[in-house]
Structure 1
Amino acid sequence: MALTASVVMIYIGMMMLLLCVPDNHAKMTEYSPAPQPQPSGNSSMYGATPGSLKPQECTPRCTHRCSKTAFKKPCMFFCQKCCATCLCVPPGTYGNKQYCPCYNTWKTKRGGPKCP
């Protein structure tokens, strides 16, 4: 009889333990963030919104941005400086600064645009 009572107590203890484990697991998975989609290389808006670039992605973006200017060195210098701060570069070779507000509002001491 004592053996049966201890087996029943062990069985009840194991059942309670098993009932608690799925509940905790459900709580952990309920709040885990969904995986974010990775931007494709063909997306023209990737990199044009604030904070969407990684620092190592600035050089290729700035190379494209400054490709049609006659002043490549200063364009690249300031574009990379702006990209390092804002982590975005507007699409195209000219204009479109509304897509990257930080890039658009950064001004020189004289009040002109700092970023190309």
Structure 2
Amino acid sequence: MAMRWRQLLVTVLLFCVLVDQAHFRKAVVEDEPTVSGGGDGKPVPVIDCAGLCGVRCSRHSRPNLCKRACGTCCFRCKCVPPGTSGNREMCGACYTNMTTHGNRTKCP
């Protein structure tokens, strides 16, 4: 009789662990692709700033300086324009209006 109770207890515990694991996986998958924090309450997509800025600055005469500025702009604006130059307007006012202390455009 005691053996059956042990088997039942082990079965119930195993079931609880499996249900908890399934719930945890679902929560992780739902939370991964976006980060909350857009000023309008909408989720902001997560982007690979380092990779996108590497492509953006690949042909720049000073790639390290370009990547540093691009990384700052990407972090703040959550956008990097396509291509190696131009297309800045595709990222909106945040990207196009950001300036340095010397009042020059910051984002490449």
TM surpasses 0.5: yes
Q: Tell whether 2:104 aligns with 1:109.
A: no
Report the AA paired with residue 31 of structure 1.
F
Separation in 2 of the partners of 1:50 and 1:18? 41
Report the AA paired with residue 80 of structure 1.
K
Q: Percent sequence identity over matched residues? A: 22
Residues 32-72 of structure 1: CA distance to partner in whole angstroms, max 9, x if unpaired? 222868xxxxxxxxxxx985125355332223xx5xxxxx4
Q: Larger relative contact order (C-alpha < 8 A, sep ≥ 6)? A: 1
CA drift of 1:15 comes to 1.1
Q: 1:22 aligns with which of 15, 22, 26?
A: 15
Contact 2:99/2:106 (<8 A) preserved? yes
Report the AA paired with residue 13 of structure 2.
C
Q: 1:89 aligns with which of 65, 80, 84?
A: 80
Separation in 1 of the partners of 2:95 and 2:45? 8
Q: 1:73 aligns with which of 42, 52, 61?
A: 61
Question: Under a length normalisation based on structure 1, what TM-score does the superposition of the two structures give?
Answer: 0.53
Question: Which residue in the other structure is 2:2 paired with?
Answer: 9
Structure 2, unmatched stretches of 5+, are 34-43
Q: CA RMSD in A?
A: 3.4
Indicate the structure (1 or 2) with the bigger Cα radius of gyration.
Answer: 1
Number of residue equivalences: 90
Q: Tell whether 2:45 aligns with 1:55.
A: no
Question: Under a length normalisation based on structure 2, what TM-score does the superposition of the two structures give?
Answer: 0.56
Contact 1:82/1:103 (<8 A) preserved? no
CA drift of 1:95 comes to 3.1
